[in-house]
Chains A and B, each alone.
Chain A
Amino acid sequence: MRSKIRAPLLALLIVNVLVMLLGFFTDAYVQLNILFIVVNVLMALSLNLVNGFTGQFSLGHAGFMAVGAYTAVFFVTKIYFAPGLLGLFLIGIYSIAGGLLAALAGYLVGLPSLRLRGDYLAIVTLGFGEIIRVVLLNMEFLGGPRGIAGIPPIPSIQIGSFEISSFYVAFFYASSWAVVCFFSLWRLCYSQYGLSFLGVREDEIAAEAMGVPTTKVKVRAFVLSSFFAGVAGSLMAHFTSYISPASFSFLLSVNAVIMVVLGGMGSLTGSILAAAIITVLPEALRPLQEITGVDLRMVIYALALVLIMIIRPTGLFGDREWPEIWRSWKTTRNLKKQTAAQKQSQSARSSS
């Protein structure tokens, strides 16, 4: 029941346009990283619903992404695929299918395990992620440990004599999902309906006493979160053109958690920013390696994270959204200005 969605949505659109323009001047490597940012945004946003808003510690996000990715890839490589606009349409359908299957997995995992709390839930979800990985390792028709290579990229689209390149279509497609996810979560979390998520996070006993069906609410959050995780997985598959069980290891889940914590538990805009930072930071540090000759990237990356968490223990945005943060910045700045002006006028008066 807080911030208006207009401002951040507008900002997201502007960023999209800027990135499109940026893509124009850059090479395939940068373009790929831009796409990864969007995937990570989707991943972080969806996890934030569970870990941030609902306060349940899930460590199995990679598992749901794997379900989505493998479903979509299965359809694309084994069932039917076509180039051009039809291909994009099919990819959309397959992503949704992947999301739905991941959501089903979320339901099946969540229903029994969401009665657990804190560390216990973390361990169960962690176990689930590993189970998915091991199952995939043993599924020969899905490539087993070798994985699946040659996943078709998002197709380029021909309109008349004008061709929209694969990157732009991919970016448009991925960021549409990010916007849909952002919009839905925002609408949900900041309506009276969504207060139930926050209530569960704040105090389960009190929430239950106020008529909030806490287990149901948790399962709902889990299912919705898994859906978008599945979609994110399917996007990732298309962008990397190769997936294997190793792509969805425990580390990916940890990465998702890091993004949520860094951005702020319960801040959607924070998750977006954090996802961008975490994707870009290791890449931005790459030139350093060439200069120094040793790979200091991970050290610096880790140090940067530690530093940020020390300076801002609740993450970049805490549990607030960007418009709120912006407003409180402005008011404190204005206050400072005012007090400074007052001091000046006082000293001027006393000197005269």
Chain B
Amino acid sequence: MSLSSENLLLEVKDLSIQFGGLKAVDSLNFSVQKGQLKGLIGPNGAGKTTVFNMLTGVYQPSRGEICFRGQIINRLKPHERCRRGMARTFQNIRLFRELTVLDNVLLGSHQKLTYGIFDSLFFTKKFHTEQKQNLDKALHLLNLFDLANKSELRAAGLPYGQQRKLEIVRALAGEPRLLLLDEPAAGMNHSETDQLMTLIGRVRKEFDLTILLIEHDMKLVMGICEDILVLDHGVKLEEGDSQKVRTSAKVIEAYLGIENEH
């Protein structure tokens, strides 16, 4: 693999975190290249979501370094990381439930606002143009994800699959460089999952995105990800293309050989 440092979007070194006595993630190293779609897989409790939480600043790692777009971001608050171009979805959907679908998306692009309290009080021109721009963008995104006709509904009223989609739209609204998707297809049926994955592929092209994708379903990840990172009990088992991961003895053992442990 040719790793040129200017193409590096995210680099994680020696990332570790402990919850009490549990080493949820232990000395993890990996990097994500610009434009890559990278899969992060592993059995239940492997520490995948915890990695996301450390990347986005929800958890503070007990050791290690997170380098995003050439800067160490360990000390930044979650909203500051978001402003630098990191957006995420949540495994246990976290929409703004009582707000409308449209408002959810608009909140996603809230970080882009440059007007302040005074502009919104005194109807300045800046206020109007920005508000209009963001509205158009939000509607475009909703259209893309087939949610435009639901824009005035409360988010809590959407069916489960659409809530997941809305989370992606909300994350996209901020025009991120790096999109972190935590099991976006969880709870969807087969054809819904397929649709979603094609959509993600399309969005990735349109917005020139880099994506880190957590997914339970190994087959699915193998299908779309160029590069896969396998995690188990907080440590990296394997990293590489699907061929390499598929044939790795360690990975096979982690996924299939659970009963062998006893």
Q: Do A and B bind each other?
A: yes
Q: How far apart are the CA atoms of A2 and B106 in the complex, in Å?
A: 12
B10-18, B87-95, B198-206 - interface stretch: B87-95
Q: Give the secondary structure class of A's interface.
A: helix
Of the listed residues B87, B96, B109, B135, the one surrounded by the most CB atoms of chain A closer than 10 A to its CB is: B96
- B113 x A192 contact (CB < 8 A): yes
When the two chains form the complex, which single residue of A191, A195, A213 contacts B77, counting CB atoms closer than 8 Å?
A: A213
> Is B120 positioned at the interface, with any CB of A under 8 Å from its CB?
yes
- B107 x A195 contact (CB < 8 A): yes
When the two chains form the complex, which single residue of A2, A191, A195, A211 contacts B79, counting CB atoms closer than 8 Å?
A: A211
When the two chains form the complex, which single residue of B102, B116, B127, B170 contacts A210, counting CB atoms closer than 8 Å?
A: B170
**Chain A, residue nearest B83 (CB):** A211
- A212 x B111 contact (CB < 8 A): yes
> Is B194 positioned at the interface, with any CB of A under 8 Å from its CB?
no
User: Known interface pairs A192-B110, A198-B103. Does A211 touch B82 (Cβ–Cβ under 8 Å)?
Assistant: yes
A interface residues, how many (CB within 8 angstroms): 28
**Chain B residues whose CB sits within 8 angstroms of the CB of A212 once the complex forms:** 79, 107, 110-111
What 1/0 flags go to B107-135 for Cβ under 8 Å of A? 11111010111011100000100110011
> Is B39 positioned at the interface, with any CB of A under 8 Å from its CB?
no
A21-29, A127-135, A200-208 - interface stretch: A200-208
Q: How far apart are the CA atoms of A208 and B113 in the complex, in Å?
A: 15
- A208 x B77 contact (CB < 8 A): yes
- A208 x B79 contact (CB < 8 A): yes
**Chain A residues whose CB sits within 8 angstroms of the CB of B134 once the complex forms:** 192
- B90 x A193 contact (CB < 8 A): no
User: Known interface pairs A203-B96, A211-B79. Does A192 touch B108 (Cβ–Cβ under 8 Å)?
Assistant: no
B interface residues, how many (CB within 8 angstroms): 41
User: Known interface pairs A1-B106, A209-B78, A212-B79. Does A198 touch B96 (Cβ–Cβ under 8 Å)?
Assistant: yes
- A192 x B131 contact (CB < 8 A): yes
User: Known interface pairs A1-B102, A198-B99, A211-B111. Does A191 touch B82 (Cβ–Cβ under 8 Å)?
Assistant: no
A228 to nearest B CB, angstroms?
Answer: 13
User: Known interface pairs A188-B117, A192-B131. Does A202 touch B79 (Cβ–Cβ under 8 Å)?
Assistant: no
> Is A199 positioned at the interface, with any CB of B under 8 Å from its CB?
yes
A sample of 17 more A-B contacts (CB under 8 A), given A195-B110, A208-B78, is A1-B106, A187-B121, A191-B120, A192-B134, A198-B99, A202-B96, A203-B95, A205-B78, A207-B96, A208-B77, A209-B78, A209-B79, A209-B88, A210-B111, A211-B79, A211-B82, A212-B79
Q: A-side interface residues toward B, CB under 8 Å?
A: 1-2, 184, 187-188, 191-196, 198-199, 202-203, 205-214, 220, 224, 319
